[in-house]
């Protein structure tokens, strides 16, 4: 799905579930969560890979 979206000109961001959690948690710790979410709004498709492979922290 993400490859097809790229081929059709869509902006796609791909990361594992753990990478997304780490990225957003780090932004929150820097008090930059809103800015990070605005940056992510530039993408038409956000891919979350490996959901369910590893348990996530409760805060995630």
* Phi and psi angles of residue 57, each rounded to the nearest 5 degrees, phi first: -60, 155
**Nearest CA to 15 among 25, 28, 31?**
25
User: pLDDT tens digits for 4-52?
Assistant: 999 999 999 999 999 999 999 999 999 999 999 999 999 999 999 988 7
Instruction: Determine the 3-state secondary structure of 60 from DSSP.
Output: coil
Say which residue, 55 or 29, is predicted with more confidence.
Answer: 29
As given in the structure block, the two tokens for residue 51 are 């959901």
Band (pLDDT 50/70/90 cuts) for residue 59 is: low
Which pLDDT score is estimated for 57? Answer: 63
H or E element that contains 13: strand 12-16
SS3 content of the chain, % helix, strand, coil (to 5): 45, 15, 40
């Amino acid at each position: 799905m993400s490859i097809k979206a790229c081929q059709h000109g869509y902006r796609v961001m791909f990361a594992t579930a753990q990478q997304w959690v780490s990225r957003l948690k780090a932004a929150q710790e820097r008090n930059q969560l809103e800015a990070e979410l605005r940056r992510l709004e530039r993408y038409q498709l956000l891919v979350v890979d490996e959901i369910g492979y590893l348990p996530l922290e409760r805060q995630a």
